[in-house]
Amino acid sequence: MFTGLVEAVGTLESRSGGRLVILAAFSADLAIGESIAIAGVCLTVVSRTATTFTVDVSPTTLGLTTAGKWKRGTRVNLERALALGERLGGHIVTGHVDGVGRLAAREALGNSTKLWFEMPSDLARASLPLGSISIDGVSLTLNEVEMDRCSVTIIPETARKTTLGDLAVGTPVNLETDVIGKYVKRLLGPHLAAVASQNDPGAEGLTWAKLAESGFLTV
């Protein structure tokens, strides 16, 4: 379990298929077998040195995340697993990536930066404005959520301490929606789909508007 508060940025030093060697400042402190979030992907440390640690990435994870495209020199956000008793400064992040999005646009907002990300529509339906999302392992607050994209704002500290400040338009990112939203969608989806089919046979199942219409939300 993680919080989405990035501890450090590491660099991919080498890879052999699904075996990745990451250069990181805290490598010497890692224990074999512990979990670590790399760009939002929960992986297991299989070996370490004073300056690097190694993880194995399964074919499924390589196919569902951006990990399959990482190359030597790729910078990645790193976060060690949450320890009981620590402050939960971000939100509950599992490290189980829901899908891959893409940076669509960025614009300056004073000293901050607004980022627009394209995202799969099913993930957009599990998200809402002012809710939480993990983007490449960074806990962020959603500003706007549309059918297939969302926006977030990052402050200078986030831009400096994570890889988000260097993202170029078109760059793919790992997305994990808020775990609470997933359960709401899972539990209420069948009910709202039934309501939708009764009221409008052409409707598309669960939406935030239908949640409000069915009495689950006040807007």
User: Cβ distance 214 to 203 under 8 Å?
Assistant: no
What pLDDT, on a 0 to 100 scale, did the predictor assign at position 87? 80
| Residue intervals in the chain for CATH 2.40.30.20 | 8-80, 99-179
What pLDDT, on a 0 to 100 scale, did the predictor assign at position 142? 96
| Pairs from 86-89 (Cβ < 8 Å, separation ≥ 24) | 88/3, 89/3, 89/5, 89/139
What pLDDT, on a 0 to 100 scale, did the predictor assign at position 208? 65
What pLDDT, on a 0 to 100 scale, did the predictor assign at position 195? 52
What pLDDT, on a 0 to 100 scale, did the predictor assign at position 204? 57
The CATH T-level fold of domain 99-179 is Elongation Factor Tu (Ef-tu); domain 3 (2.40.30)
Q: How far apart are CA 152 and CA 117, in angstroms?
A: 8
User: Cβ distance 50 to 70 under 8 Å?
Assistant: no
pTM of the predicted model as reported, rounded to 2 decimal places: 0.84
Tell me which residue of 31, 130, 114, 135 sits closest to 80, measured CA to CA.
Answer: 31
What pLDDT, on a 0 to 100 scale, did the predictor assign at position 194? 57
Q: How far apart are CA 40 and CA 192, in angstroms?
A: 31
Per-residue pLDDT of the chain in tens (219 residues, 90 and over written 9): 999 999 999 999 999 999 999 999 999 999 999 999 999 999 999 999 999 999 999 999 999 999 999 999 999 999 999 988 888 888 989 999 999 999 999 999 999 999 999 999 989 988 989 999 999 999 999 999 999 999 999 999 999 999 999 999 999 999 999 988 777 777 776 665 555 555 555 555 556 666 677 776 654
What pLDDT, on a 0 to 100 scale, did the predictor assign at position 154? 97
Domain made up of 8-80: CATH architecture: Beta Barrel (2.40)
Q: How far apart are CA 202 and CA 127, in angstroms?
A: 22
User: Cβ distance 136 to 38 under 8 Å?
Assistant: no
